[in-house]
Structures are given as structure tokens and as C-alpha cells.
């Protein structure tokens, strides 16, 4: 391999950027003498991330068009995986400490243990309160523009101790990014942390200083911060904590205040994320902000959510692909998603997990480098939430009985996070029929993880085909499988 190849590879890995390239000349991948281990989650059975046998490859130079196939080409590689995880909010931590000690340890192991659990490596938390807090609060006293009263004592009761426990369970490292829902009320034109409103121009520098204060305070408390987003959902006027920015306002805030302030505070290496809202406006926001070089130089990537479905439309994966194609030097990160309108009677609804599988496969295939669920744990009411915006989480704690309830979305996410590790390269994986969805990654240890999802009512037999070798697989109705090739 040439020196030039190593240079390009190291640049892409260090930036976490999207690399669309082929393997070096002369390098080939052969499935000969390799084994496929199958792990399955399947509706109507007790199979949940369950081992489901091993398969061998046989020679199959030209598969017939009459048969289903998943074609995988490890020689065609794309973006590197940064991580998969979920948000550690006030609601999560408050619910966690209502559980018995043994259930607390069970939850930590379920999410963060790389062997016994699903190996989450990524996390998000909030700057000040969000809807998933028991009440609104600020780190500064009313009117303190100079931030002299800045104090994160509120978070030291539940949130910071929980994040530390989660980090320890993850082996001592958790890639953490942070997001504000609203500046303090006095900094906004509606004098209210709720109901939208905008940051007053005279407080732009003070608010930029606030991010640096927060990151310093959390890092002093023992929680390293990898990155930050400018604003959660900057186009939404919510009944909960919210603040609105147009694309131009967010661009100029980054260019003139937040970017320079981070750099001056020794935080130029923190990954700065813009947008952090739904896919529907993703391209418009990215193009408006990133086409200004003075703003773009501070920006690591563009974050997005999946709630564009509030319009009655489906998930807009085309926006992800188009944004990646237009701005391949910037990273795409899914920063939040959950199923809304909590109903305890629907905790076993199979569509919960299938929504995750659909999104994750399409987002990764569209160039996304990291994927973050919303709350990893909520109570039996879908909270706590101080404005009644109750939602589903992959795991719910019934605080009345002290039991944990695992929805199938936990297992669906695990089919990715357990087998696709940070640093893995996405490789080409194409289904011959649209009844199957697939994505695939080559891990740094040489293992190949191929995820295949069947959301139909049909049993589908297919071949996992890699360069003239194939293995016969069956996808049961409403199932997801990870095929690990070693």
C-alpha cells in the first residue's frame, strides 16, 4: 500500500469524515473459508439478539435473477462509524435512581457492556433543562449576563452521577455531545425559556460564553465533552424549552460568536454541530450555513432528527443523501429520535423497533457517521416530563414494581451497536429486492457485520453473496438479523 493511501486514510479517520473510495489496488476480500454467525430478533418468538446458527459459503459465481440476494462488496468503503448511543437526560437519571440497585446495574450492563449488552458508545445530554426534566431551571440567576452565578449543582444530584456510572459501564469512555434547549429567559425576546422566542442580539456573546462555562464545568466534574450542537430544534416553537434561529441567524451566531469563543476558550477541537432538527429542512440549513466559509470553518457536522413525520409524511431519507452528496467534507449525525405519544399498552408494539431499523439502515446508507437515540430510559408514564410530552424509550422502568421493560427497539438498535464498532467502515451492501433492507460495515478487527431487515409479512429466503461466494439465509417475517462474517 502506498504512502499516499495511508495519508488519505489517516485524514479521513481522524476527522470522522465520509470517505467514498475503494480499497487499495491489489487488495481483495474473499469469503472463502469464512463463517457467518447469525443473530436474530424476530416477531412472534422469544428470539431477541439471539444466536441463530452458523453458515458456510459455497461457490456461486452468478446468482440468478429469480432469487433474493444481498450483495456485499467489502472493497467499496465509505464513511467511518463514530458511534451509536442515546441521550442521558434529567428524566433518564431521575428514573434510574428510582430503581433497585440490581436493576440499575442490569440497565447499565444492558446498554454499555460490550459482551452482555449492546455496547453503546455515544451519548447526548442537555445544557440546562429540557422537556424531559421534572421542571425548568437555569445555571445562572435571573439577569446575570456576566454568568458570575454559573453553577451546575442541579445536575450533581442525579444527572452527573448517572453519566459517570454509564461511562464506567462503557469501559471508561463515552463520546458525549451536549445541546441547549433554551438560553436563560432574560436573554430572549419573549423573556421565557418556553414557547420559542429568540436570543436577543445584545446577549449573543454572553450566550456563547455560556457554552464554554458549561463544558468547563462538566469536564471539571469528570465528564469529557466531545462535541456540542448550537441549538436543539431551532425552527420549533414548543410548549417546552425552545429557541428559534433562522439559518442565517444560526450561521452568523456560529461565525461571529460561538465559533470564535470556542476557539478562544481552547475548545477548537470540540465537534460543533449545526441544525439539530428534522430532515425536512436539512439541505436548506446545511447549504445556507456551509456555503459561508467563515462559518463553515468552525463546523464539524450537521445534526438531524426524524420528527418530520409530524406532517403525516414518511422519513425523508432523500434529504440525508442529497446533503451528504453536496457537502461530503462535513459529517452527518442523527442527534435525536423517539416514538412519540406514549401508551403503556403499546410497549410490545413491533412497529417501535421497525421504525428504528428503517431509519438506521437508511441514515447510514445516506452517509451518516453517528446515530443517537433520545432518552435511553423513561418511567411507566413515558416521563418524567414537565409539560406532559410523554414518549417511548427503548427501555421503560415500572417504578411501581421496580421492573425493567425492554421494547423491541432496544434489540433493533443492538443489531447495529453491538456488532458495528467505532472506526468501522461502511461497505457496499445492496438488496436485489426492496422487501429487504441492508447495510454493512467492516470493523477494524476484520469482522464484517451485515444487517438485514425484513419488515414484510413474508418469509424471505436469500443469499448473502460476496464476490462469487454465497451463504443461504432465511429472513422470517418482521425480523432483523446481523450476519457476522469472520
Catalytic residues: 233, 336
Quickly count: other Cβ atoms within 10 Å of residue 474's Cβ: 14
| Strand pairing report for 425-431 and 68-80 | antiparallel
Give CA separation, 245 vs 138, 242, 276, in Å.
20, 10, 12
In DSSP notation, 119-155 reads ---EEEEEES--TTSSS---SS-TT-TT-TT---GGG
φ/ψ of residue 283, rounded to 5: -65, -45
Find out whether 178 and 127 touch, Cβ atoms under 8 Å.
Answer: yes
Quickly count: other Cβ atoms within 10 Å of residue 298's Cβ: 18
CA angle 195, 177, 273 (to 5 degrees): 70
Cα dihedral sign for 417, 420, 424, 425?
A: negative
Report the C-alpha dihedral over residues 70, 449, 412, 177, rounded to 10 degrees: -130
CA distance 422 to 443: 8
Q: Which three cell numbers stand for residue 370?
A: 453517528
Find out whether 124 and 177 touch, Cβ atoms under 8 Å.
Answer: yes
- The DSSP 8-state label assigned to residue 226 in this structure reads -
| Strand pairing report for 175-180 and 122-127 | parallel
CA angle 435, 476, 72 (to 5 degrees): 55
Residues facing residue 475 across a β-bridge: 460
225 burial via Cβ count (<10 Å: 0-12, 13-18, 19+): buried
Of 220, 99, 67, the residue nearest 152 (C-alpha): 220
Of 337, 387, 399, the residue nearest 362 (C-alpha): 337
**E strand or H helix that includes residue 286:** helix 282-290
CA distance 214 to 129: 13
Amino acid at each position: 500500500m502506498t504512502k499516499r493511501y495511508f495519508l488519505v486514510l489517516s485524514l479521513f479517520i481522524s476527522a470522522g469524515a465520509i470517505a467514498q473510495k475503494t480499497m487499495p489496488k491489489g487488495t481483495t476480500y474473499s469469503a472463502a473459508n469464512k463463517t457467518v454467525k447469525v443473530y436474530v430478533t424476530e416477531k412472534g418468538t422469544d428470539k431477541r439478539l439471539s444466536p441463530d446458527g452458523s453458515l458456510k459459503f459455497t461457490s456461486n459465481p452468478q446468482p440468478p435473477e429469480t432469487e433474493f440476494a444481498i450483495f456485499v462488496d467489502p472493497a467499496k468503503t465509505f464513511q467511518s462509524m463514530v458511534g451509536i448511543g442515546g441521550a442521558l437526560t434529567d428524566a433518564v437519571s431521575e428514573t434510574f435512581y428510582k430503581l433497585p440497585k440490581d436493576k440499575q446495574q442490569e440497565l447499565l450492563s444492558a446498554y454499555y457492556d460490550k459482551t452482555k449488552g449492546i455496547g453503546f458508545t455515544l451519548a447526548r445530554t442537555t445544557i440546562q433543562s429540557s422537556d424531559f426534566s421534572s421542571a425548568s431551571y437555569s445555571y445562572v440567576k435571573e439577569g446575570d449576563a456576566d454568568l458570575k452565578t454559573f453553577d451546575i449543582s442541579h445536575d450533581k444530584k442525579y444527572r452527573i452521577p448517572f453519566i459517570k456510572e454509564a461511562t464506567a459501564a462503557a469501559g471508561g469512555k463515552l463520546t458525549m455531545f451536549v445541546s441547549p434547549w433554551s438560553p436563560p429567559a432574560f436573554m430572549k425576546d419573549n423573556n421565557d425559556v418556553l414557547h420559542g422566542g429568540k436570543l436577543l442580539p445584545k446577549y449573543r456573546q454572553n450566550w456563547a460564553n455560556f457554552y464554554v462555562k458549561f463544558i468547563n464545568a462538566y469536564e471539571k466534574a469528570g465528564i469529557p465533552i466531545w462535541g456540542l450542537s448550537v441549538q436543539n430544534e431551532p425552527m420549533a416553537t414548543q410548549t417546552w424549552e425552545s429557541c428559534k434561529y433562522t439559518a442565517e441567524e444560526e450561521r452568523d451566531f456560529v461565525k461571529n460568536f460561538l465559533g470564535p469563543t470556542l476557539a478562544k476558550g481552547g475548545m477548537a477541537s470540540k465537534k460543533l454541530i449545526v441544525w439539530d432538527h428534522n430532515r425536512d429542512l436539512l439541505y436548506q440549513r446545511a447549504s445556507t450555513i456551509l456555503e459561508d466559509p467563515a462559518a463553515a470553518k468552525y463546523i464539524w457536522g450537521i445534526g438531524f432528527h426524524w420528527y418530520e413525520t409530524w406532517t403525516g409524511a414518511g422519513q425523508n431519507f432523500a434529504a440525508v443523501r442529497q446533503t451528504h452528496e453536496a457537502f461530503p467534507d462535513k459529517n452527518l449525525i442523527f442527534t435525536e429520535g423517539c416514538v412519540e405519544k406514549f401508551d403503556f399498552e403499546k410497549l410490545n408494539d413491533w412497529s417501535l423497533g421497525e421504525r428504528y431499523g428503517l431509519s438506521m439502515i437508511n441514515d447510514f446508507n445516506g452517509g451518516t457517521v453517528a446515530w443517537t437515540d433520545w432518552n435511553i430510559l423513561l418511567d411507566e408514564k413515558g416521563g418524567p416530563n414537565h409539560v406532559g410530552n410523554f414518549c417511548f424509550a427503548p427501555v421503560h422502568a415500572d417504578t411501581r414494581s421496580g421492573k425493567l421493560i425492554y421494547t423491541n427497539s432496544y434489540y433493533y438498535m443492538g443489531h447495529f451497536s453491538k456488532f458495528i464498532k467505532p472506526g468501522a467502515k461502511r461497505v457496499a451492501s445492496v438488496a436485489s429486492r426492496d422487501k429487504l433492507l441492508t447495510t454493512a460495515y467492516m470493523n477494524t478487527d476484520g469482522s464484517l457485520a451485515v444487517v438485514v431487515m425484513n419488515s414484510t409479512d413474508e418469509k424471505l429466503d436469500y443469499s448473502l453473496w460476496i464476490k462469487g461466494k454465497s451463504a443461504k439465509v432465511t429472513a422470517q417475517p418482521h425480523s432483523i438479523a446481523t450476519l457476522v462474517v469472520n
